[in-house]
Amino acid sequence: MNRRHALRTLSALPLLAAVPWRSAWSNGYPTTVAALRTAREVEMRVHYRYTAFGQKARQEGYLGIAYLFAAFGSAEFIHAGNFGRILARLNVEVAPIQRPEFQVGTTRENLLVAANGEADSVENFYPRLLERIAHEGHDDAMTAVRFAWETEKQHRDKIRQIQRWSPAFFEQVATEIDRRSGQYFVCQVCGNTVNVVPTPRCPVCKTASTHFRHIEPPT
Binding site for Fe ion (CB under 5 A): 152, 155, 187, 189-190, 192, 202, 204-205
> Which of 4, 22 has the CB closer to Fe ion?
4
Nearby residues of 14 by Cβ (< 8 Å), 6 or more positions away: 31
- In whole angstroms, the minimum distance from the beta carbon of 86 to Fe ion comes to 16
Centre a 10 Å sphere on the Cβ of residue 180 and count the other Cβ atoms it contains: 8
Shortest reach from residue 9's CB to Fe ion, in Å: 20
Residue 54 buriedness (CB in 10 A; 0-12 / 13-18 / 19+): buried
Q: Is the dihedral of CA 57, 121, 155, 159 positive or negative?
A: positive
Distances (CA, A) of 11 to 21, 122, 142, 206: 20, 18, 18, 32
The distance of closest approach from Cβ of residue 61 to Fe ion in the complex, given in angstroms and rounded to an integer, is 24
91 or 199: whose CB is closer to Fe ion? 199
Q: Is the CB of 34 or the CB of 71 nearer to Fe ion?
A: 71
Task: Name the minimum Å distance from CB 207 to Fe ion.
Answer: 6
Distance CA 212, CA 11 (A): 35
φ, ψ dihedrals at 19, nearest 5°: -85, 115
Closest-CA residue to 113 (of 45, 215, 38, 194): 45
CB 168 within 8 Å of CB 156:
no
Helix pair angle (139-163, 107-120), 10° resolution: 140
Nearer to Fe ion among residue 29 and residue 72 (C-beta): 72
Minimum CB distance to Fe ion, residue 159 (Å): 9
Our CB check for Fe ion shows the closer of 175 and 213 to be 213
The residue (of 60 and 213) whose beta carbon lies closer to Fe ion is 213
* Minimal distance, residue 34 CB to Fe ion, in Å: 22
Backbone angles phi, psi at 68, to 5 degrees: -60, -45
